[in-house]
Amino acid sequence: MRRALTLGCAALVLGSCGGSQSGPREYPRMTEDGQGQSRDAAPLPREALADAPRLVTEPSASSIVTLRVAFDAGSASDPAGREGITMVTARTMAEGGAGELSFAELSRRLYPMAGTISAQVSRDETVFIGQVHADHLDAFYELFRDVLTRPRLSEEDFERVRDQVMNELAVDLRSSNDEALGKEALELALYEGHPYGHPAEGTVAGLRRLRIDDVRAHRDQELCAGRATIGIAGSVPEGFAQRMERDLSRLSSGACVGRQALPAPPSHEGPRVFLVHKPDAQAVAVSMGFAYDVRRDHPDYPAMVLAAAWLGQHRQFIGRLMQAIRGERGLNYGDYAYAEEFTQEGWSRFPVTNDARRQQHFSIWLRPLRPETAHFAIRLAVRELDRLVREGLTREQLDHVRTFLTQYYALYTQTASRRLGYAMDDAFYASSPAYVERLRAGWAELTPESLHEAIRRHLDPSRLTIAIVASDANELADAIASDAASPITYATTVSAEVTAEDREIVGYPLHIPRERIRIVPVSQLFER
């Protein structure tokens, strides 16, 4: 306790904690021309801060302890002109020095325990994740706590992290990972001018403009106790949760403010295309979707998860798109649909947790296609979506997907760490009972009619935005705009059913005139 208090005071010297004593910090004035894009004329209201961090625990006998501290602040909290600041702040904390230790010293302490401390930043959340074997919990916790409450945020750590984030954005994402690029392009198009409208990594201009003082001020303002949820999973000693609550409660500052409300996502008339022109692209990446108001706390959320699984459960064969595009035609490696933002956890088939959002979108992802088949595959996907909305599912189809999901979702919560993540997500959405339980109950109630009604309420193909990354952007844009036939050939004879279906698909109208097709050079993407 004494040690904690002493450390707490030391942190004051670094300007990283200490309630009203440290005083509100302000972002330094911008020193460059071009102050970034102003998103909204009138500032949106801010929520009230909570009195103390929320606590969520997932007790288990597991000897692997997971600590998660999530803040209701993500890249949507980046101020205009400083896009990327939340990511750089969180990673400079997680990948820099803390307390008396430099990053090198901290790494050396963590290494023998194989303990890990990382930061995950999404649009609305920043979560610090610590994992360690119970043998080392005490020593590990002191490091984890200091990363959160006494980060050094040194100039050197900051510059290194900013350069890494800049490289991930401007080089890796733009040129080395077209699958990720296509998905980010969709979000860019869906949320243009909205706080979700830039990747968590930020923009090139925003990152260039960042200074260490910005980062320190941003932490004081956004990553504080009144916006925190503490999560603990695994076998911990009695009193551990209270200790953690006490320590994290000190994470407050006079500069801390509540989360700012979000504007509505931008709306548009008719389906449209956002085409990223990437001259050296060898294949075509496609993501499509629309913003909608179904989140996990919406009564129709289970229906939307089921509808998405019908089209394509992530990396499983059950989906209609997977069967039609890969299974029957061999056009690509995989095709899936999502009822909410989906980021895969590691090499698994499951999403990361602590990626909750205040606004969501429904999306379809077609993995890279050979250029000559892209237009056809897009038509096929849109046609399947149209069919789903028009016809819904038969009783038999509904039962099949429901049976699959009811069992399959047991795999979503196999580890205490993941159960904890979902429990924290439930706290974010203020929804109960527990996530998987809620889904199963929702699926059990669905009838073909109620499912179809929910689909028609929320899935509107006329609002579709199709994001494409391609080398022959103009050619593809002209083909789409003209609704010209997109004939398809295969390396083999296909079934009579496929041939008959193809006759409809090759000319299936997308109704997207040229003026609703925007072409953006990849070099301009994420620039500002």
Partner 1 sequence: MIRTTVLLSSALAALSIVSSAARAQDAHAVFGAEPRVERLSNGLTVISVHTESPGIVAYYTLVRVGSRDEVEPGHSGFAHLFEHMMFRGTDAVPAARYEELLQSFGADNNAYTSQDFTLYTVTTPSASLPQVIELEADRFQHLSYTEEVFRTETGAVHGEYDTQRSSPMLPMWEALSEIAFSRHTYGHTTLGYLRDIEAMPERYDYSRRFFTRFYTPDDCTIIAAGDVDHAALMAAVRERYGSWRGRRDRPRVPVEPEPTAGARRHIAWQAPAQPRMFVGWRVPGFVSGRSARERRAALRTTAALQVVHGLAFSEPSPLYQHMVVDQHRALELGSWSNELSLDPSLFVAHVVLADNETFDPAIAEIQGAIDELASGVDAERLDAVKSHARYALLMELQTPSDVADLIARFVAVGSSLDVLYEYLEELRAVTVEDVSRVARELLNDRRRFVVTLSRGADPSADGPPTPSAEDPS
The number of residues making up the chain comes to: 528
| 160 near partner 1, rule: CB under 8 A | yes
Where are any strands of DSSP class E within 189-308?
A: 228-234, 272-277, 284-292
Hey, which residues between 383 and 402 contact partner 1 (CB under 8 A)? 400
DSSP per residue over 245-256, as a string? HHHHHT--BTT-
CA distance 177 to 170: 11
Hey, which residues between 402 and 441 contact partner 1 (CB under 8 A)? 403-411, 414-415, 417
Nearest to partner 1 of 108, 390 (CB atom): 108
How many Cα neighbours within 13 Å face the side chain of 357?
A: 25
What is the DSSP code (8-state) at residue 497?
A: H
Hey, which residues between 63 and 122 contact partner 1 (CB under 8 A)? 63-64, 103-104, 107-108, 110-115
The encoded tokens of residue 256 equal 């801390």
Bridge partners (DSSP) of residue 322 are none
Bridge partners (DSSP) of residue 321 are none
Convert 124-157 to b/e letters by CB count within 10 Å (16 or more is b).
bbbbbbbbbbbebbeebbbbbbbbbbbbbbbeeb
CA distance 105 to 116: 14
Nearest to partner 1 of 255, 469 (CB atom): 469
Hey, which residues between 33 and 62 contact partner 1 (CB under 8 A)? 61-62
Q: Which stretch binds partner 1 (CB under 8 A): 16-24, 238-246, 257-265, 364-372?
A: 364-372
Hey, which residues between 447 and 506 contact partner 1 (CB under 8 A)? 490-494
CA distance 307 to 309: 5
329 and 492 Cβ atoms separated by less than 8 Å: no
Task: Quote the least distance from Cβ 129 to partner 1, whole Å.
Answer: 13
Task: Quote the least distance from Cβ 97 to partner 1, whole Å.
Answer: 10
Nearest to partner 1 of 27, 342 (CB atom): 342
Q: Which stretch binds partner 1 (CB under 8 A): 29-37, 171-179, 219-227, 382-390?
A: 171-179
84 and 207 Cβ atoms separated by less than 8 Å: yes
What secondary structure, in 3-state letters, does 54-76 show? EEEEEECCCCEEEEEEEECCCHH
# binding residues, partner 1 (CB under 8 A): 74
| 133 near partner 1, rule: CB under 8 A | yes
Q: Which of 6, 20, 21, 167 binds partner 1 (CB under 8 A)?
A: 167
| 9 near partner 1, rule: CB under 8 A | no
Hey, which residues between 189 and 228 contact partner 1 (CB under 8 A)? none
Preceding omega of 433 cis (within 30 degrees of 0): yes
Hey, which residues between 341 and 360 contact partner 1 (CB under 8 A)? 349
Q: Which of 26, 135, 138, 437 binds partner 1 (CB under 8 A)?
A: 135
Task: Quote the least distance from Cβ 115 to partner 1, whole Å.
Answer: 8
CA distance 158 to 116: 20
Q: Which stretch binds partner 1 (CB under 8 A): 51-59, 125-133, 194-202, 476-484?
A: 125-133
Q: Which of 316, 397, 431, 450 binds partner 1 (CB under 8 A)?
A: 316
Hey, which residues between 252 and 291 contact partner 1 (CB under 8 A)? 280-283
